[in-house]
Amino acid sequence: MFPKKQLSGNLKRQKKKKNDEIAQSLRGSLNKYFVKQPNASLENLDEDDLPNEYEHPIQLEELVENENDVNEEIGDLDENENSDEPFLDENENIDEPCHENECPETRFDLNIYDPRVWDNLDAKMRDLLIEKGPLRETNLKFPMDEHNRHFSSNYYIRTLPNGETKDRKWLVYSKELDKVFCFCCKLFKTMNSRSQLTSEGIRDWKHLGEKLRQHESSIEHLTNLRSCVELQIRLKTNQTIDTELQELIKKDTLHWKNVIVRIIAVVKCLAIHNLAFRGTNEKIYEDGNGNFLGLLEMIAEFDPVMQHHFRLIQDKKIHYHYLSHKIQNELIAILASNVKHAIIEKIKTAKYFSVILDCTPDASHKEQMTLILRCVDVSSTPINIEEYFLEFLNVEDTSGLGLFNELQNVIESLTLNIDDVRGQGYDNGSNMKGKNLGVQKRLLDINPRAFYMPCGSHCLNLIVCNMANSCVKAKSFFGACQCIYTVFSNSTKRWNVLLDYIDGLTLKSLSTTRWESHIESVKAIKSQASQIREALFKLTEISEDAKLSRDAQSLASGELSSFEFILSLVIWHDILHKINLVSKKLQSEDMRLDAAVRQLEGLVLFFENYRINGFVSAMIDAKQISLDMGIEPIFPKKRQVCRKRHFDEVSNSDREQQSAEESFRTDYFLVIVDIALGELKSRFEQLHCFESIFGFLFDAAKLTSLDDNELKSFCVNLENALKHGDVSDVDARDLFSELQVLQVMLPKEAYETDKPWTSIKILEFVKSVDMFPNVMVAYRILLTIPVTVASAERSFSKLKLLKSYLRTTMTQDRLNGLAILCIEKDMLENIKYDSIIDDFASKSATRRHFK
């Protein structure tokens, strides 16, 4: 019988067990060849003798993974240069999720400071952990177990028999597993270890205190603690076996730190300016390698650090270069995460916030909903009202329920409390503002204090559109304006003819969604009516198209030679100019309710006065323009129709005998003005409702003019408006008492001048004296309520730049990362990412010497 070619499974296990026993018996046998420092004696080591590094662990937010994951994630330039496969184009999707068996674990899910990954750490990663020390997160909300018990931060403290307390620096909590471990024993465990703190961890919160006392006095724990501290001291004093190697690692770490600083600077530059990163390939010093590598090549012309780095790449002396598209995505995600975290912290500090939503389709025909959060930053000086962009949400269900579910999910994912929402601002879509099934109604059902305010600028634009469609003459007027634009814009030659005659504003097209389209179109024609008419006459002469020649002749000899059209230009310019001024002021990020009320009251007053005096003033301006153009300033007379009257017909002699001028005034001018007045009062009804609740806080003059009975009544009304169940944001009696004192403390210049103090200036004063907590809350809520969704509209302009037709396959994560870096660039400049750079550098240097 032939002998077996290989050992059986049982013999293999026995052999492996024997080898493990031999290796364990030889553990630490080299220590006798090293001389220990006198102060490193740890014969009677206790956990209280740990170095200072354990007392204040380094707070890192970077992402660290094992070497295998890094090898699969980061691109290799050397392999790229020798590969025949085509590189990804800018419009190709580089972030598509791969299948379960095709890609490694996601990098962001692996955290080296989590004890669940410590079983498979190699020596260099263990050294890195020992050098950095354990990470202890504060302000964690520990989950309940099945017995309604949870871990407490009190377990980190050890009480000695004499009453003194010491910090258990070795105790580590894993928020992923909801268990506690021993830092030293987990990293230096042996096969004979029996403690749960060493292996699977402890989650028995009822008996945790007793188990910790037993563990910290055990021989196994003290031995592992000694090994841990000895290694810490050797790493700190460069007395490890590989001292020369450690020196090389430190030198390379400095090099990689300088490289990463420059790479992050390029990523920030491209993200802020909405520029594409990649080209048709990813090879340095080749055409079409994209903006990212192009900028780094430009830096290398003047910077010795990047020159050295590129030389190492070309000489194939480094394997990891951090120039691939994957590292770009990772850096974008890390920077965006830091900006987002900073924004969330500001919102949590402010407590109360408002939600602003708006939707639009992107270049890939996906519905994108932008999320803007508005809050009052009381910590800044002076106090600022901020509107922060958080992210774009890809929504498939655009009904009121679908959008509301998306809103709920994203607020929960941001660890914010939906009960702290004090305002919501949307456009006038039925799925948003619906009184029965809209988003605002569904949010009010669970949080009645989330005051809804329809977008003021959208409302003004709808008023303009309704005015433009209110009568036949108005429709004909804007139709003529659009026709004038179309005649010239449909051909570059015709447009050049127009430019030969005008030297100011160019013609603009009308739009029902662009807020300024009507005023821009009317303004361009009114200011250059004579030149445009001459251009039309010229076009009539040179055009070979009979239809075009007829249209140009009709416009030049008809509308632009008509006194009615000139008068309409003047009237519409006066009306649209005033509406546009108010709309622009409402679009500012720090617009307040009190300022919006004043602007709209001024607009209503303008229309009331214009209804009385506006027609006469418009006639004067129109006659002057007509005389300059050589047009007779008279209305065309209609022939009187003579017909037989029936015996029972009621005579309407006043209407029949009405002049053409009076008919123009009553059938055209008064119609559009009355439409504007009516819609201003109906569409901004909610704003007047807010005035009835917060109006007494709008300015110092109004606040100081109230007597005690009126003030008390307003305070009770405000308490009821800010109440949900049995909880209210303010107490009416305390607020009343504080406002009484505030009325006396306000200086005279706050209310005796022509410009009394506004709500935000009163809040500044209240903050400075620091004695009116209820008044602070009331003013913060008042300033939190949004007026327009202009910030959401502005974010859509960035969306069109980022997700263009060349980059339609961009993933949602990359889109959100680039968008928040671009829109919140001021926050990006204040972000400190030194820890990220240090960790990247240490990993890269370690990789090079431990490949």
90 DSSP 8-state letter: T
CA distance 643 to 662: 23
Pairing state of beta strands 421-426 and 353-361? parallel
624: left (phi over 0), alpha (psi -120 to 50) or beta: alpha
Higher-pLDDT residue of 136, 407:
407
Of 561, 509, 567, the C-alpha closest to 534 is 561
Give the chain's mean pLDDT.
82
* Both structure tokens of 406: 């998306």
For 507-555, write each residue's pLDDT tens digit.
Answer: 888 887 777 888 899 999 998 899 999 999 999 988 888 888 898 999 9
Helix, strand, coil percentages, rounded to 5, for the chain: 60, 5, 35
CA separation, residue 448 to residues 445, 628, 724 (Å) = 6, 60, 7
Residue 76 has pLDDT above 50, yes or no: no
For 800-812, write each residue's pLDDT tens digit.
Answer: 988 888 888 888 9
Among the listed ranges 16-20, 393-397, 620-624, which one has the minimum average pLDDT value?
16-20
CA distance 113 to 187: 12
Is the separation of the CB atoms in 134 and 54 below 8 Å? yes
Of 597, 509, 620, 645, the C-alpha closest to 787 is 597
pTM value is 0.70
> What's the gap between Cα 205 and its chain centre?
40
What is the percentage of the chain residues whose pLDDT exceeds 70? 84
Q: Confidence band (pLDDT; 50, 70, 90) for 236? A: confident
CA distance 700 to 717: 19
Of 369, 586, 575, 331, the C-alpha closest to 477 is 575
Strand partners, 174: 179
Backbone dihedral angles phi then psi of residue 91, each to the nearest 5 degrees:
-90, 5
Through-space distance between the first and last CA atoms of the chain, rounded to whole angstroms: 46
Q: Per DSSP, which regions of 663-788 are E strands?
A: 723-724, 727-728
CA separation, residue 843 to residues 147, 253, 269 (Å) = 42, 8, 25
Residue 21 CB neighbours (<10 A): 11
Among the listed ranges 12-16, 342-346, 377-381, 397-401, which one has the minimum average pLDDT value?
12-16
Residue 33 has pLDDT above 50, yes or no: no
CA distance 92 to 90: 6
For 468-505, write each residue's pLDDT tens digit.
Answer: 998 899 999 999 999 999 999 988 999 999 999 988 78
Rg of the chain on CA atoms, in Å:
37
Residue 51 has pLDDT above 70, yes or no: no
What is the percentage of the chain residues whose pLDDT exceeds 90? 37
Q: Report, as an integer, the average pLDDT of 640-644.
A: 63
Is the separation of the CB atoms in 146 and 205 below 8 Å? no
Q: Confidence band (pLDDT; 50, 70, 90) for 75? A: very low
Q: Report, as an integer, the average pLDDT of 42-64.
A: 39
Residue 392 CB neighbours (<10 A): 25
Higher-pLDDT residue of 69, 224:
224
Among the listed ranges 89-98, 197-206, 835-844, which one has the minimum average pLDDT value?
89-98
Higher-pLDDT residue of 697, 104:
697
Model pLDDT, residue 725 = 86
The kind and range of the H/E element at 245 are helix 243-272
Residue 245 CB neighbours (<10 A): 14
Q: What is the largest CA-CA distance in the chain?
A: 135
Residue 717 has pLDDT above 90, yes or no: yes
Is the separation of the CB atoms in 150 and 205 below 8 Å? yes
For 344-394, write each residue's pLDDT tens digit.
Answer: 999 999 999 999 999 999 999 999 999 999 999 998 888 999 999 999 999
For 159-216, write each residue's pLDDT tens digit.
Answer: 888 888 888 888 898 888 889 999 888 888 877 777 888 888 888 888 888 888 888 8
Model pLDDT, residue 26 = 67
Residue 421 CB neighbours (<10 A): 22
The kind and range of the H/E element at 306 are helix 304-314
CA distance 463 to 470: 10
CA separation, residue 503 to residues 509, 528, 569, 606, 698 (Å) = 18, 9, 20, 32, 46
CA distance 570 to 564: 10
Q: Report, as an integer, the average pLDDT of 408-431.
A: 91
CA separation, residue 74 to residues 62, 80, 319, 419 (Å) = 16, 12, 10, 43
DSSP assignment of 517-572 equals HHHHHHHHHHHTHHHHHHHHHHHHHH---HHHHHHHHHHHHTGGG-HHHHHHHHHH
Residue 46 has pLDDT above 60, yes or no: no
Model pLDDT, residue 639 = 65
For 724-752, write each residue's pLDDT tens digit.
Answer: 888 899 999 999 999 999 999 999 888 88
For 559-585, write each residue's pLDDT tens digit.
Answer: 888 999 999 999 999 999 999 999 999
Is the separation of the CB atoms in 571 and 617 below 8 Å? no
CA distance 733 to 737: 6
Is the separation of the CB atoms in 579 and 517 below 8 Å? no
CA distance 289 to 740: 69
Residue 638 has pLDDT above 50, yes or no: yes
Of 227, 200, 196, the C-alpha closest to 214 is 196
Model pLDDT, residue 845 = 52
Q: Confidence band (pLDDT; 50, 70, 90) for 267? A: very high
Model pLDDT, residue 38 = 42
* Both structure tokens of 737: 């008492």
Of 389, 390, 447, the C-alpha closest to 413 is 390
CA distance 419 to 16: 60
Model pLDDT, residue 41 = 39
Of 362, 341, 331, the C-alpha closest to 269 is 331
Q: Report, as an integer, the average pLDDT of 754-762.
A: 90
Is the separation of the CB atoms in 677 and 611 below 8 Å? yes
CA distance 35 to 446: 69
Backbone dihedral angles phi then psi of residue 315, each to the nearest 5 degrees:
-85, 0
